[in-house]
Chains A and B, each alone.
Chain A
């Protein structure tokens, strides 16, 4: 059985080009399961997966849950509102308690960057990062890569433009690391107030001008702009934001022919993306969702034999 070499999936950073290829190939093979009449394979039968969500999430949690069910895993859902966190228990204590129930895999979403690392160091179970603060969201980047590879046949040599609130986006970080690693040309674009320090060192070209980012792009990825950013003085108004960074049909003309539009969701129609663009035939936003299930199935499957390995250390 093929598998990833590490116990946990904490970040794209820790994955090699071969690892990423393995996940994408496996996901491609597993995509067929969701097209069957009986959408189930026994790959994780007898394995227990805990979904530990400390942040509200609908799509990522549902996507993981569906992936687990289609692999026949036993599932325990644990969300912050129903958890002991509200009673003052620390993450470490929560982790140790869960560990005592001997799960094979823990999927964690947490508002604090590095929370999955803490869990991975303390637990024998495999830990999958389902989004940690502003750090990473590795399965999102993998499903994005699967979507792009399915549409374009490759990742290498493509121009990817990621547009929006780069500072607060774990998706921007994971996608930049992944696509850069796979040989794509990554551009990030947003208001200077929402571009974090030294972002270019992660492997992206940085610009404040949307036309420059989109010109000749094969893939345009829009990020959600949270309304609060206006009150925090990152931008003057969502109106001005749309004028400068919103994706309109007009702006899409600068991209390469056959360019595709992506969005990790949830979308703010009229804030970062024009409705007509979101619904256009070059929009692959719903393909991303479908690929999300297959990608998470692949990740869970490839890690399922690895619990008990030495805790994963991130490579520097």
Chain B
């Protein structure tokens, strides 16, 4: 299955020297190693364009080695990692360090995302050109939204020089008002400070306007409300903008009711929303309004998470559950097909990040995700390759998920 060229049939795939050399109904020539993928789905390699690998700085929570092992186990052949490390990836030196560590310990591809502003403080531009030279694929101040409209505008204008996507964590911090959960019935009932959906929606609207004015490429990270999605859809329908968006599996599957027992494994930013928002996001992955599913994989130590709800950090892990969750809840029931799945997890992230990936074409790198839609698994954090155990899906029984992850022709993980 290759949605980049509408290819969908039973076929053999021949790989040589890390690249796909032939795709045909029957390839007679014997291979050095053959994989019997009968009954399985062979898709272009999945890319998670929104992860936090925590290295450098918080290696107790995750490392490039454990995070990428988790990614391989979750069916991902590549990840793009956010710059909110310690120190922040706002310089060529940190970008170079991340890429060096990745070459040493990672079996999958790692694409660093650089900071938009120095220290992600939202004030002055980071040395974006230097980081591009070192290998970043996008810029983002994820976790620390760029509040100042003028700084954002400058960043967008500057990003055009490098055709670099700007990934925005949309949150008006004044409107978010120190909230910890979605503002609504549950925040009221639980006595937790609410985050108004307007905090996200206002910023998405600003970005849509700036995207048009500057002609830059904006990708909205972890979009979580119906109104945000409507704003993106309307701007795209009007034309003349380069605006894309992603949603996370947890925003597609859980509502704010999940917070009822003050479980900090259900605390993330943006927060879990209400049913209507969840329904809108699910419609969005089916209709094409949503471009990408990304995990926002955010590992934290249990010590950090086992605090009072308002003191615990935001974030959940997702690399080892995302594909299985989406297969079980959306592919098997027919909400989306395999072609759409490959767009959401592979083709679109590759296009947004300008990566020569996301396709199964002779000549392309042999990055392949093999799915088994009949494979039964149960989410058990204790078995994760990730150091993070903070999943809200513990104990979920799932049918369907990754069976094998192939990067440049090498099997880096198989079930």
Contacts and interface: CB of A to CB of B under 8 A. Distances in A.
A in complex with B: yes
Interface of A: 13, 90-92, 110, 112-115, 117-118, 132-136, 170, 173, 196-199, 201-202, 313-314, 316
A197 B188 contact: yes
Given A91-B308, A197-B188, 10 more contacts: A90-B306, A90-B307, A91-B307, A92-B306, A92-B307, A112-B308, A135-B192, A136-B191, A197-B183, A201-B188
B261 interface: yes
A199 B190 CA distance: 11
Contacts of A115: 308
Contacts of A314: 260-261
Contacts of B18: none
B303 interface: yes
A196 B187 contact: yes
B6 interface: no
Contact of A198 (B184, B191, B260): B184
Interface in B257-278: 257, 260-262
Interface of B: 183-185, 187-194, 257, 260-262, 303, 306-311
Given A133-B191, A313-B261, A314-B260, A197 B308 contact: no
Contacts, number: 68
A316 B185 CA distance: 12
A199 B307 contact: no
Nearest to B188: A196
Given A113-B309, A113-B310, A114-B309, A173 B262 contact: no
Given A112-B311, A113-B310, A197 B191 contact: no
A298 B210 CA distance: 62
B255 to A, nearest CB: 12
B307 A114 contact: no
Shortest 6 CB-CB contacts between residues of A and residues of B: A135-B191, A114-B262, A112-B308, A134-B191, A113-B191, A196-B188
Contacts of A316: 257, 260
A90 B303 contact: yes
Contacts of A13: 189
Contacts of B310: 112-113, 133
Contacts of A136: 191
A113 B190 contact: yes
A136 B306 CA distance: 21
A199 B303 contact: no
Nearest to A170: B191
A196 B194 contact: yes
Contacts of B187: 196-197
Contacts of B183: 197
B308 A114 contact: yes
Contact of B185 (A91, A118, A201): A201
11 contacts: A110-B308, A113-B191, A118-B308, A132-B191, A134-B192, A135-B190, A173-B188, A173-B189, A196-B187, A202-B188, A316-B260
Contacts of A113: 190-192, 262, 309-310
Nearest to A13: B189
A141 B311 CA distance: 27
